[in-house]
Structure 1
Amino acid sequence: METRSDGWAGMGWDGWQDHDEVLRRLNQGADPEVWGGGRPLHRAAAFGSPEVVTELARRVADVDATEDGATALWEALFAGRPGNARALAAAGADPWRPLIGGWSPGRLSLAGPTPDLFPRPDGEPGLTEQEQASADEGRRLVAALGTFHYDGLGLACVAGIDADEAIRRLEATPADGEEMRELVEDPYEYDLDESLSFVGVTTVPGGCVVTQPWGYAPSMPGVQTRLSAGTVSYGLYANPKSGNQGSVTRDGVIEGWDLHPGGAPWPDATSEEVLRSYLYSSHAVAYCCAYVGLRLTDARAVVGPPDAWVRLPEADYWSH
Structure 2
Amino acid sequence: MGWESWKDLDGIRRRLDEGADPEMLSGRRPLHRAAFFGSPEVVTELARRVVDVDALEDGTPALWEAVLSGRPDNARALAAAGADPWRPVIGGWSPGRLSLAGPTPDLFVRPAQERGLSEEERAAAQEGKRLVAALGDLHYEGTGLACVAGIDAEEAIHRLEAAPAGAEELEELLEEPWAYDFDESLRIVGVTTVPGGCVVTQPWGYMPSTPGVLSRLSTGTVCYGLYANPKSGNQGSIVRNGIVEGSDLHPGGGPDLDDTAEEVLASYLYRYNAVAYSCAFAGLRLTDARAVVGPPDRWVELPERNYWEH
User: 2:300 aligns to what?
Assistant: 310
Give secondary structure in 1 for the equivalent of 2:192.
strand
Q: Contact conserved, 1:224 with 1:233, CA < 8 A, in 2?
A: yes
How many angstroms does 1:169 deviate by?
0.8
Structure 1 outlier segments of 4+, above 3 Å: none
Aligned partner (choices 155, 168, 176) of residue 158 of structure 2: 168
Provide the C-alpha distance between the structure 1 equivalents of 2:131 and 2:80, rounded to a whole number of angstroms.
33
- Which residue identity is paired with 1:68? D
- Which residue identity is paired with 1:211? T
2:235 counterpart of 1:249 = no
1:191-235 deviation line (CA, Å, top 9, x unaligned): 221111110000000000000011111001111111111110000
Q: How does 1:89-238 map to 2 (within 5 A)?
A: 89-238=79-228
How many angstroms does 1:289 deviate by?
0.5
1:250-286 deviation line (CA, Å, top 9, x unaligned): 1001111110101100011110000000011111100
User: 1:27 aligns to what?
Assistant: 17
Provide the C-alpha distance between the structure 2 equivalents of 1:239 and 1:47, rounded to a whole number of angstroms.
25
User: 1:4 aligns to what?
Assistant: none
Aligned partner (choices 69, 72, 83) of residue 82 of structure 1: 72
- Which residue identity is paired with 1:197? R
Give secondary structure in 2 for the equivalent of 1:182.
helix
How many angstroms does 1:119 deviate by?
0.6
How many angstroms does 1:20 deviate by?
2.1
1:68-115 deviation line (CA, Å, top 9, x unaligned): 221100100111110000000000000011110010111110000000
How many residue pairs end up in the alignment? 310
Provide the C-alpha distance between the structure 2 equivalents of 1:258 and 1:17, rounded to a whole number of angstroms.
34
How many angstroms does 1:182 deviate by?
2.1
How many angstroms does 1:35 deviate by?
2.1
Provide the C-alpha distance between the structure 1 equivalents of 2:129 and 2:50, rounded to a whole number of angstroms.
36
How many angstroms does 1:123 deviate by?
1.4
**What is the root-mean-square deviation of aligned Cα atoms in Å?**
0.9
Q: Contact conserved, 1:153 with 1:237, CA < 8 A, in 2?
A: yes
Aligned partner (choices 256, 269, 275) of residue 266 of structure 1: 256
Give secondary structure in 2 for the equivalent of 1:126.
coil
- Which residue identity is paired with 2:125? A
Give secondary structure in 1 for the equivalent of 2:245.
strand
Provide the C-alpha distance between the structure 2 equivalents of 1:25 and 1:196, rounded to a whole number of angstroms.
53
Provide the C-alpha distance between the structure 2 equivalents of 1:62 and 1:132, rounded to a whole number of angstroms.
33
1:122-163 deviation line (CA, Å, top 9, x unaligned): 111110000000000000000011011111010010000100
- Which residue identity is paired with 2:44? T
User: 1:51 aligns to what?
Assistant: 41
Give secondary structure in 1 for the equivalent of 2:247.
strand
Q: Contact conserved, 1:197 with 1:313, CA < 8 A, in 2?
A: yes
- Which residue identity is paired with 1:135? A
Provide the C-alpha distance between the structure 1 equivalents of 2:305 and 2:156, rounded to a whole number of angstroms.
16
Q: Contact conserved, 1:53 with 1:87, CA < 8 A, in 2?
A: yes
Q: Percent identity?
A: 74
How many angstroms does 1:57 deviate by?
0.7
Q: Contact conserved, 1:47 with 1:79, CA < 8 A, in 2?
A: no
2:70 counterpart of 1:70 = no
User: 1:5 aligns to what?
Assistant: none
User: 2:2 aligns to what?
Assistant: 12
User: 2:26 aligns to what?
Assistant: 36
Give secondary structure in 1 for the equivalent of 2:251.
coil
Provide the C-alpha distance between the structure 2 equivalents of 1:251 and 1:96, rounded to a whole number of angstroms.
39
- Which residue identity is paired with 1:41? L
How many angstroms does 1:302 deviate by?
0.4
Q: How does 1:292-311 map to 2 (within 5 A)?
A: 292-311=282-301
TM-score, structure 1 as length reference: 0.95
Give secondary structure in 2 for the equivalent of 1:236.
strand
How many angstroms does 1:21 deviate by?
2.1
- Which residue identity is paired with 2:201? T
Q: Where does structure 2 lack aligned partners over 5 or more consecutive residues?
A: none
Give secondary structure in 2 for the equivalent of 1:101.
coil
How many angstroms does 1:177 deviate by?
2.1
Provide the C-alpha distance between the structure 1 equivalents of 2:17 and 2:168, rounded to a whole number of angstroms.
66
